[in-house]
Structures are given as C-alpha cells and as structure tokens.
Amino acid sequence: MKRKRYELLDTIRGIVLVSMIIYHATWNFVYIYGMDWDWYRSPGAYIWQQSICWTFIVLSGFCFSLGKRHLKSGLMVFGGGLLVTAVTLIAMPSNRVVFGVLTCIGSCILILTFTEKAWRKIPAEIGIAMSFFIFLLTKNINSGWLGLGSRKIIEIPGNWYKDYLTAYLGFPFPKFYSTDYFSLLPWFFLFVTGFYLYGIFQKYKILEKPFWEKGIMPFSFLGKHSLIIYLLHQPAIYGLQEIYFLILKYK
C-alpha cells in the first residue's frame, strides 16, 4: 500500500524553512554587510534562531519512522552537510560552516538507522521524557558544563575539548570556529525526542485525523523539497544581496 503523505508536516517544515531563510538573510546583513542592528543580538533573536533549529531537528526525528530508505536518506543529508562545509571553506573561510545542521541531522539518521531496535524497546512515554531531559542536561556541553538552564551541575574536564573529533561529538577545542555548529551532543537527543513523539502520535492514533493530510501552499511545496532549498538558499540570498548593494552603489 502507498503510504499517506502528511501534507501538514510538509507545511510546518516549509514555514520553518521560510523563517530560516529570513533569519539567514538578516545574518548576512549584520555580519557580512555590517548593518548595525542590535536587536539581532538580543535574546529575542536567539529565541527565533532556536525555534528554527529545534523544530527542524524534532521534525526530522518525528519523520524518521515515516521514511523507508534511512541509510540513503542519512547519507544524502550528511553529504549535503559536507558540501556546505566544502563550499564555505573555499568561498568564505571566515564564515565557514563545520559540523552544521545538515551534518548533525544526517548523523542522527545514520545512528538511529543502526540502533533503532534498541530505542524501540523503550516505551514512547518514557523515551520522550528521558531523551528530552538528556538534551536539556547537555544543552551547554559545548561551553564546558552540564546543567539545566543557566544552572551548572557538573564542569566537564577541559582535556575533553581537544580536536575535530571531540568537536563533532560536542566538545569543541578552544580555537574551533563555525558559523553554524550542531554537534551530536546535545542535538542527537532532541532528534530522539522527535522519534518518540511520533511513537506517542502513533500509539494514540493522532495522525489518523484528516487534517494531517491537508497542506498549505506554497509552504507544503517548500517542505517537500527542503534539502535542495536548504543547499541553495544561502547562495541565492547572498547573490540577491550583492545585486542590491551594487544597485545602491551606482544609483
């Protein structure tokens, strides 16, 4: 039987994709073109940025169980992340992306592909609480500590932060730099949170409601092609902004 297409999931992904495009365009204006927008460095802008990445990663974990070819999907997304890294290292090394969100999501898909049976042994209600708690506990692991919110519980030894392998895992060395950095810790556990959220939806037959099959254009279209749009959006934005400033220069 042909699997249902949950258009509403594509719509949500498309809306977040538009939000991300606007966020990245704004980032370019501030950090590449030097626009003096202090609000972009405010807590509100941080919440905006976090809302984008949290939604993408939870949704990716949620949709894991809806897919078939996990190994292929994981390799494609991971490969997209490597492509972003290569292009930024060549074209704009000062704004390079190392271990960005695509590398992270691709890694999460691949890890879960080979460990799925073990995770499924845990009831969804326990799994979602456990994984989300670990995510919150490790949220500041890149900064050298475990805790909840701003409360430090455990300081992590500094010798754990030593090279690119440790940076990939969640322990960046002092001179590590990336404009888009999503290490396995803590983000893998947010991905797993989405995985268990799907389990709860399935258990209580929430996805059987007819509204999940209804999307909103053009957001649902964007959501269906999110990977290619993600790969192309930043060069497209940068090109348009260069044209804009060129027109202003010669106006």
- Give the model confidence (pLDDT) of 171-197 as tens digits: 999 999 999 999 999 999 999 999 999
Q: Where are the alpha helices (DSSP H) in the chain?
A: 7-27, 43-63, 70-91, 101-120, 124-137, 164-169, 184-203, 219-224, 226-250
Q: How confident is the model at residue 234 (pLDDT cuts 50, 70, 90)?
A: very high
**pLDDT of 249:** 81
CB 141 within 8 A of CB 186: yes
Collapsing DSSP to helix, strand or coil, 170 comes out as coil
pLDDT, the chain, mean? 94
Q: Alpha carbon 160 to chain centroid distance?
A: 24
Q: How confident is the model at residue 13 (pLDDT cuts 50, 70, 90)?
A: very high
- What single-letter DSSP state applies at residue 205? T
Q: How would you classify residue 89: left for phi > 0, otherwise alpha for psi between -120 and 50, otherwise beta?
A: alpha
Q: How would you classify residue 99: left for phi > 0, otherwise alpha for psi between -120 and 50, otherwise beta?
A: left
Residue type, 237: I
Rounded CA separation 202/26 (Å): 38
Euclidean distance between the first and final Cα of the chain, in Å?
60
CB 190 within 8 A of CB 61: yes
> Average pLDDT of 8-22?
97
Rounded CA separation 96/118 (Å): 36
**pLDDT of 2:** 46
Closest CA to 63 of 9, 1, 137, 133: 9
Q: How confident is the model at residue 3 (pLDDT cuts 50, 70, 90)?
A: low
Q: What is the CA radius of gyration of the chain?
A: 19
Q: How confident is the model at residue 68 (pLDDT cuts 50, 70, 90)?
A: confident
What percentage of the chain has pLDDT greater than the value 90? Answer: 87
Rounded CA separation 74/242 (Å): 34
**pLDDT of 251:** 72
